[in-house]
Structure 1
Amino acid sequence: MSILLPYGKRFIEIKQQKNITVFEPNFAKPLKNPSEKIKQSLKKPYGCPCLAEIVKRRKPRSVCIVISDHTRAVSSKIILNEIIKELINSGINKKGIFILIGNGTHRPTTEMEKLELVGKEILKDFFVFDHKATDSSMLIHLENTDFYVNKRYIEADLKIVTGMIEPHFFAGFSGGRKGVCPGIAGMESIKIFHGFKFLESPYTKPGNLQNNPCHIFATEFAKKAGVDFLVNVTINKNKEITGVFSGEIEKAFFKGVDFCKKTSTCYTEKKYPVVITTNGGYPLDIDFYQSVKGMVTALEIVENNGIIICVSECREGIGSKDFKKILLEMNTPEQFIKKIKQPGCFLDVQWGVQPLVHVLRKAKIFLVSGLSKKDAQLCRCIKFSSINQALLEAYRQHGKNVEVAVIPEGPYTLFE
């Protein structure tokens, strides 16, 4: 029997052995007709009137639809098709509809990525543009708050947010309020959401919303900015839609979270000396910056001083220039934590390095990736060209009979 590990747009195979335990949640069956299910969800949402009724009452002249960017495996094309049809059938002029890509702090999407996200027809017929968190001309400050948000979004008469609900390494779950913060938030707000204090909280972890400061802040932000209608989906390991959750932002989101927990959770009380994880394949394993998410999942079940083997393609390298700059200037992980802990200190994308430090405090990282050996060393990882090479070294260090855990879906898996 073989175990398949997603790696970019393909799979890496390892053979099942008696000392290997695989942790995979129950496979969620795909919806037979996701477009029809999305259409139904617009007519029978959770906690609010149907979308057509909202349009009838509000009579909006402009509609902003927020979608996830190129780093998320959301079926935005399918979701948009149904939303746009419903809006036009409800009397909205198509010229009043625009699509805002929630990049957060990620780089802008390329034209090819926009095409992949929304499809040829939507890209041709509608204005599709990127949010930019550092461009003050695109932002508006919400009075008496720490919230800076995309100006075009605030100015729209009707605000619709889409996205995907999945485990998230510090917000508990993605989706819902995250489509607004950090999706279309300004950098000053993201500095709080991604700040040292929030990320050091014991409640900031995958699968947890209770007392989670990131979740609380993002929820307050989204409610203040306003979300008139939410459309979120869940997916399985094949990137197929398994559920649709539309309606009022909190009620629809929590329904989706309940479903996601059931389809993402594995159970173990045991810790393992060696844990193999992935970052879920393309597009989430697009670079090392994103790949930390799969490592954080492995933290839940790896022993102290253990080894985490992360299988992640990293086709775009380490990540942004700012992320790489922090790694270049970081003498030791603890020195980095000491630096960002100081009042008034904030480094761009420090939130990508802080969880990495949490991993390095507990385990060595073996990286099976397209990164060069030099770049892997910069990321404080040991580079391997194949999963078999990495396993051989793990056996050399811990003995050939060492118990190994495998998490094929990395960041899409929760542990209890």
Structure 2
Amino acid sequence: MLLKFYYPEIKGVEIPDKNLCGVFKPKMRENNLDVEKLVRQALEQPIGTGKLEDIVGKRDKILIVCDDNTRLTPADKILKVLLPYLHGLGVRKEDITILIALGTHRPMLRKELVAKLGGNVVDEYKIVNHLWDRVEDNIYYGKTSRGIEVWGNRLLAEADFVIGLGHIVPHRVAGFSGGGKIVQPGVSIGKTIGDIHWLSALVPGTEIMGKRDNLVREQIDESARLMGLDFIVNVVQDLKGEVVGVFAGDLIAAHRAGCDLAKEVYGVEVPKADIVIVDSYPADIELWQAAKGIYASELVVKDGGYVILVTPCPEGVSTTHPEIEKFGYLPLKEVEELVQKKELEDLTVAAHLVHVGRVIKEKGHGIMVCPNIPDKVKEKIGFIPASTVQEALSYALQEKGEDASIVAMLHAGEILPIS
């Protein structure tokens, strides 16, 4: 069969029928739902908290924390309901600030903010890009039960009420995205972010992906409480990005309800295979994000198998983390040695190297098809380069044999493979 990808610059691949075990992707709902209506209903029926009208004061300073353009959260549609809702409670425009939860990503440009939030919002409200490395912007909030020091954006402490916006999909570090993750790591400093990510690197993906309650999420929830996240509005979207559910309220209770729906939408029964073809959609800007396609394959590829990553990455490997190209993807033991020798001090990067290295260095091999990353860079970071997916598949079949089983996962940046 001919398998096509979401990227017009990357050609499809012909897969022999005798080898193909299936092409898998998240589910798609047939009925188009009214997003604004769903948001309004969620605000009227919050989970685990009182309604905003009972807990927000007219003169309260409101901070809305919103994810950036590496996420598909339809923030513009949420804000189209949330902002008038707050104004209806007596909250003034000048008392509302929107903080962009960049984690360690680069700041968003104005045109990107307009696309994410809407032109009127950018023009009429104060918008702030979180800067994780600017000392004066961040303060100490406390320590979690595992001793993680929580440092983050001072605007949360200066606000009377903090609302987090996000979406819920399977996630290698936290089990699922969304919930308290909007502030940790969303608006935390590098060390705090690193400590959380490194904790996840010590645990196999099978123990975290698609599990709402795990040791990493526990630390995220504790961090979010310390930082003062009062309320969340999270969406669940289907294969096409259409909103199929909105969950508002407490950062744990509302998030847990949303994760139940996300698991239903993104959970797909996928057989294990010798060769796994994955795209990174919708995490496509740079490899730092596109590696999410690799994370999902950890649950599918057989030992000694090949994972073929198909991704455009117009901004290359990473604009903010040059350590990836310096060290490349490595097994856990080798990364631990780099950390112990203080040759690699950014634990967020260390965890990233482990998450990918666990798949392409420990469990199997990785082949990359990416028009915007040079072959020499692909090789340096640990991938076998290929100019087309057909070339990559031919190589993998040559190595694994003509009877090798093949699985393809589209929208793999967010799929949750279930055995």
| Same fold per superposition (TM over 0.5) | yes
Q: Is the 8 A contact 1:101 1:130 kept in 2?
A: yes
Structure 1 unmatched ranges of 5 or more: none
**Aligned residue number for residue 192 of structure 1:** 195
Of the structure 1 ranges 380-389 and 217-226, higher mean CA displacement relative to structure 2 is found in 380-389
Provide Cα deviations, 1:200-226, integer angstroms capped at 9, x if missing partner.
12475311234x332111100111222
Matches of 2:330 and 2:171, distance apart in 1: 26
Question: Which SS does the other structure have where 1:147 is aligned?
Answer: strand
**Aligned residue number for residue 365 of structure 1:** 366
Question: Which SS does the other structure have where 1:70 is aligned?
Answer: coil
Task: Give the aligned length.
Answer: 407
Alpha-carbon shift at residue 271 of structure 1 (Å) = 2.3
Q: Is the counterpart of residue 309 in structure 1 residue 308 in structure 2?
A: yes
Alpha-carbon shift at residue 11 of structure 1 (Å) = 7.4
Alpha-carbon shift at residue 53 of structure 1 (Å) = 2.8
Q: Is the 8 A contact 2:386 2:392 kept in 1?
A: yes
Provide Cα deviations, 1:333-372, integer angstroms capped at 9, x if missing partner.
4533322256896236222212121112111111111211
Sequence identity (%)? 27
**Aligned residue number for residue 26 of structure 1:** 27
Matches of 1:209 and 1:38, distance apart in 2: 22
**Aligned residue number for residue 213 of structure 1:** 215
Matches of 2:85 and 2:232, distance apart in 1: 14
**Aligned residue number for residue 168 of structure 1:** 171
Q: Is the counterpart of residue 406 in structure 1 residue 408 in structure 2?
A: yes
Q: How does 1:8-87 map to 2 (within 5 A)?
A: 13-15=12-14, 17-18=16-17, 19-20=19-20, 21-29=22-30, 31-55=32-56, 58-87=57-86
Q: Is the counterpart of residue 3 in structure 1 residue 3 in structure 2?
A: yes
Letter in 1 for 2:103: G
Alpha-carbon shift at residue 12 of structure 1 (Å) = 5.1
Q: Is the counterpart of residue 225 in structure 1 residue 227 in structure 2?
A: yes
Alpha-carbon shift at residue 87 of structure 1 (Å) = 0.6
Matches of 1:154 and 1:43, distance apart in 2: 26
Alpha-carbon shift at residue 415 of structure 1 (Å) = 2.3
Matches of 2:269 and 2:33, distance apart in 1: 29
Residues 156 and 5 of structure 1, relative CA distance in 2, 3 Å threshold: same
Q: Is the 8 A contact 2:278 2:294 kept in 1?
A: yes
**Aligned residue number for residue 273 of structure 2:** 272
Provide Cα deviations, 1:107-165, integer angstroms capped at 9, x if missing partner.
11112211111111100000111111111111121245511121112211111000010
Provide Cα deviations, 1:185-209, integer angstroms capped at 9, x if missing partner.
12231121122x4411247531123
Provide Cα deviations, 1:24-78, integer angstroms capped at 9, x if missing partner.
34323464211111112111111222223322xx334311001001211111111
Provide Cα deviations, 1:286-311, integer angstroms capped at 9, x if missing partner.
11111221111111111111100011
TM-score by length of 1: 0.91
Question: Which SS does the other structure have where 2:413 is aligned?
Answer: helix
Matches of 1:170 and 1:329, distance apart in 2: 21
Question: Which SS does the other structure have where 2:376 is aligned?
Answer: helix
Question: Which SS does the other structure have where 1:361 is aligned?
Answer: helix
Matches of 1:318 and 1:326, distance apart in 2: 8
Provide Cα deviations, 1:249-274, integer angstroms capped at 9, x if missing partner.
11110010000011111224x42110
Of the structure 1 ranges 348-357 and 361-370, higher mean CA displacement relative to structure 2 is found in 348-357
Q: Is the 8 A contact 1:42 1:51 kept in 2?
A: yes
Provide Cα deviations, 1:77-115, integer angstroms capped at 9, x if missing partner.
111111101011111111111100000111111122111
Q: Is the counterpart of residue 181 in structure 1 residue 184 in structure 2?
A: yes
Of the structure 1 ranges 178-187 and 58-67, higher mean CA displacement relative to structure 2 is found in 58-67
Question: Which SS does the other structure have where 1:411 is aligned?
Answer: coil
Matches of 1:259 and 1:242, distance apart in 2: 9
Q: CA RMSD in A?
A: 2.2
Alpha-carbon shift at residue 380 of structure 1 (Å) = 1.1
Q: Is the 8 A contact 1:52 1:86 kept in 2?
A: no
Matches of 2:267 and 2:191, distance apart in 1: 34
**Aligned residue number for residue 147 of structure 1:** 150
Of the structure 1 ranges 346-355 and 379-388, higher mean CA displacement relative to structure 2 is found in 346-355
Letter in 2 for 1:6: Y
Q: Is the 8 A contact 2:3 2:13 kept in 1?
A: yes
Letter in 2 for 1:123: V
Of the structure 1 ranges 136-145 and 67-76, higher mean CA displacement relative to structure 2 is found in 136-145
Matches of 1:24 and 1:264, distance apart in 2: 8
Structure 2 unmatched ranges of 5 or more: none
Of the structure 1 ranges 158-167 and 24-33, higher mean CA displacement relative to structure 2 is found in 24-33
Matches of 2:30 and 2:53, distance apart in 1: 29
Of the structure 1 ranges 391-400 and 112-121, higher mean CA displacement relative to structure 2 is found in 391-400
Residues 4 and 272 of structure 1, relative CA distance in 2, 3 Å threshold: same
Question: Which SS does the other structure have where 1:234 is aligned?
Answer: strand
> Which runs of structure 1 show a deviation greater than 6 angstroms over 4 or more consecutive aligned residues?
none
Letter in 1 for 2:355: P
Alpha-carbon shift at residue 396 of structure 1 (Å) = 2.0
Question: Which SS does the other structure have where 1:366 is aligned?
Answer: strand
